[in-house]
Amino acid sequence: MRTSILKSILSLSTVALFTGKASADASYNLKSHSLSPPYITDGLYNRWWDFGGSTVVEVNKFVRLTTNQHSQQGWLWSRAPLTAQNWEVEFEFRVGEVNGKDHLFGDGFAFFYTSDRATLGPVFGSKDYFNGLGVFFDTYPNSRHKFSFPRVMPMIGDGKTAYDNDHDGDANNMMLGCSADFRDKRFPTKAIVRYKKGEYVEVLLKIRNDDTYQPCFTVQNVTLPNIGYIGFTSHTGDATDIHDILSVETKGFIIPNKKNRGKQPPQPQNNHRGIHNQYNNQEETGRGFLFWLIIISVILGIGYVVYQKKFANTRKDNAKLF
């Protein structure tokens, strides 16, 4: 009897823990906006992604937006629109070749979430006057700046404003970005772009030889188009470089209503380094863990009382036999 009661308690505790974790995470994978090898099928196409321009696909190795050739433009765009209201895109990329610093390199590549797709143009290989989000991984400075390159910079496009290419986006509030030495690495380099509707866009980078992400920037009070496409584009000019996309993993998030979330933590302030490196799930996870810890304690207490009563009754029955 004692063994069966303890097993029941442990079983209920395990269920409670896993239920609490699922509730706190509230995320789901989006296969339609994710990419991994092999990048194309026997029909020489991908069900969820389009490639174009100078892009070269090595089936199990990379999607190469540009090679070390002059005046190239390449792109990789999702076929289907992303309809999730809150989302995260994590992607692995490679810029330059190992020991490839013996030439003038540029210009970089871009991540886009925009209402239009697959249109070549002057903004890192994509169209200007875009509507949505652009995150530019810029390796070549067109003018003098107080910060160093390579640099990762955001632009929230309204469909009417041009990208300030001659000054590397100074007119587009590019001071929100961060300098990041992501080029010519011997280990995987990755980025995460997170969007919470009406609240913020943030970018985190993994450009060191470890598994940690560092915050790059946060842009507050952002509302992007409800429906947009994910894209990666690049271009070269007189300066050339290799720009590869190796994998893409996209998730959607279900965010509880503010009435159910309770008090929110203070919002981070913008600066050129970026300081918001945790999704709001951290607070929700802590609350979820405390809630289920209380539930488990109650279950264990009830189980202990039941066991004590059973054990006491058994002792009385045994005493009557003698």
- Residue type present at position 48: W
What integer pLDDT is reported at residue 257 of this predicted model?
60
Secondary structure (DSSP) of 145-212: -SS-SSEEEEEEEESSPPP-GGGTTGGGTGGGSEE---SS-SS-EEEEEEEETTTEEEEEEE-SSSS-
Name the nearest CA neighbour of 188 among 247, 108, 124: 247
Q: How far separated are the first and last CA of the chain, in Å rounded? A: 22
Strand partners, 113: 133, 230
- pLDDT bin (cut points 50, 70, 90) of residue 280 is very low
Instruction: Please state the domain extents for the chain.
Output: 2-19+284-321, 27-255
Tokens (6 digits) for 118: 């697959």
Band (274; pLDDT cuts 50, 70, 90):
very low
pLDDT tens digit string along 115-138?
Answer: 999 999 999 999 999 999 999 999
Strands 49-53 and 189-196, bridge-based pairing: unpaired
Select the more confidently predicted residue: 317 or 19: 317
Tens digit of each residue's pLDDT (9 = 90 or more) over 155-176? 999 999 999 988 877 788 656 8
Contact (Cβ atoms closer than 8 angstroms) between residue 77 and residue 231:
yes
**Torsion sign, CA atoms 108, 109, 110, 111:** negative
Residue labelled with tokens 């097993």 = 7
Percent of the chain residues past pLDDT 70, beyond the cut: 70
Across the range 273-295, mean pLDDT stands at 47
Options 2.60.40.10, 2.60.120.200, 1.10.260.40, 3.50.50.60; CATH for 27-255 is 2.60.120.200
User: Does residue 206 have a pLDDT over 70?
Assistant: yes
Task: Read off the pLDDT of residues 36-87 as tens digits, 9 standing for 90 and up.
Answer: 999 997 778 899 999 999 999 999 999 999 999 999 999 999 999 999 999 9
Tell me what percent of the chain is helix, strand and coil, each rounded to the nearest 5: 25, 35, 40
Given a contact cutoff of 8 angstroms between Cβ atoms, the answer to whether 240 and 17 are in contact is no
pLDDT at 292: 65
Higher pLDDT, 101 or 2: 101
Say what the pTM is.
Answer: 0.73
- Give 140-152 pLDDT, tens digit per residue: 888 887 878 899 9
For residue 267, the one-letter residue type is Q
